[in-house]
Amino acid sequence: MNKETKLRILNIIAKAALKFGSETWVLKKSEEQRLEAAQKKYLRHLLGITKLDKEKNQCIREKTGAQNILKEIKQCQKKWLQHVQRMGIKRLPRQALKYRPEGRRNIGQPKKRWRDQLHFEDQGTRNAPNT
């Protein structure tokens, strides 16, 4: 198979598998690294490059024309947010987005929430406090 065919198969099957359900994920740094590593592994295999060849990741992306998987996931999340915001008030996803629980959160570092993740990415900060 030629490179173009392999790349099309990669885009159809592997990316779909990596991004399945990603609209509602809250990604930790370790999970982001694992997704990037999986994508790089696919691309290296596609080009027949091993880690011993010491090719830079940017060069591999340029050769294949692949976009960073995390950027694609962030785009999917923003599309999902816009979709939910257009929904009627009675719809469950819209209610879940607007839900504010009563009471206090547990002691310790607050868990990352989906809406906080999107809000802080728009501002360009990753470690902003949760509200």
Q: Tens digit of pLDDT for each residue in 74-107?
A: 888 889 888 988 999 899 888 888 888 788 878 8
Cβ-Cβ contacts under 8 Å for 23 (sequence gap 6 or more): 76, 77, 79, 80
Where residue 51 falls among pLDDT bands split at 50, 70, 90? confident
pTM score above 0.85: no
pLDDT band at 28 (very low <50, low <70, confident <90, very high): confident
- Whether residue 128 is predicted with pLDDT greater than 60 in this model: the reply is no
The pLDDT, as a whole number, for residue 66 is 82
pLDDT at 34 exceeding the cut of 90: yes
Percent of the chain whose pLDDT exceeds 90:
8
Task: Judge whether residue 123 has pLDDT over 90.
Answer: no
Query: pLDDT at position 121, please?
Result: 58
